[in-house]
Amino acid sequence: MQIKTEAQLRDLYGFPSGRSKNKVLTTLEKHAIHFIEKSSFLVMSTCNIENKLDASPRGGTPGFVKVLNKNEIVIPDAKGNNITDSLSNILETGTVGLLFLIPGIDETLRVNGRAFISKDDRYLELFASDKNQPKACVVVTIEELFLHCAKAFMRSKLWDEGAKIDRKSFPTMGQMLKDQLGASEVPESREDMIKRYEKDL
């Protein structure tokens, strides 16, 4: 049976209550700020006006996302592949969803809000000490945020050493792209890929 209505959904799941119902905030407070300052990784979700979705990983040293005040944060757009799906979506809809992660911590922080792209010096100067400074930043005005429980990470054992697979048992990025694109050249080794990437970190 396909679920097609909100009423059917609520008949199946019921409604949130207690802390789950009341935990959504509209501004940063000390714990959310601390979480962002300790985070070295986030997933940025965006969509365009046709509701085409995109989820993009972003990373840096802990605190790579800067907190301006209780309503605004700034994300550097580090050098990447220049596809700019996320940035193009922000231009079209001005909305963003963020999932902040901290290695070793099973809880996550979710942030939703309005966003725009800027190359103003007042934002770029926040990253003046970075080895590879961003060309632009994503400035987010927070509309809602909340801490997300640890269940997904506990189920996946994401941070557990025993859950890691042997990297040699998994194809390299070069091999996967060669197969997907039907390329004829010898695939790039993982070691060569890392050396190439390290120039842009």
Q: In CATH, what number is assigned to the domain containing residue 139?
A: 2.30.110.10
Q: Residue for token digits 């400074």?
A: 133
Please state the separation of Cα 1 from the chain's center in Å.
Answer: 33
In a domain, 10, yes or no: no
* CA distances from residue 46 to 40, 55, 107 in whole angstroms, order as listed: 20, 7, 22
Alpha-carbon span 65 to 26, nearest angstrom: 18
In a domain, 140, yes or no: yes
Q: How large is the average pLDDT for residues 133-151?
A: 96
Residues 126 and 37 in one domain: yes
Number of domains in the chain: 2
Predicted TM-score (pTM) of the model is 0.92
Report which of residues 126 and 80 the model is more confident about: 126
Residues 86 and 49 in one domain: yes
In a domain, 194, yes or no: yes
- Tell me which residue of 35, 39, 33, 34 sits closest to 71, measured CA to CA: 33
In a domain, 6, yes or no: no
The confidence score (pLDDT) of residue 80 equals 80
Residues 142 and 180 in one domain: no
In a domain, 119, yes or no: yes
Residues 25 and 58 in one domain: yes
* Model confidence at 125: pLDDT above 90: yes
Residues 137 and 171 in one domain: no
* CA distances from residue 119 to 49, 70, 86, 87, 139 in whole angstroms, order as listed: 23, 22, 16, 13, 10
- At residue 199 the predicted structure's pLDDT band, cuts being 50, 70 and 90, is confident
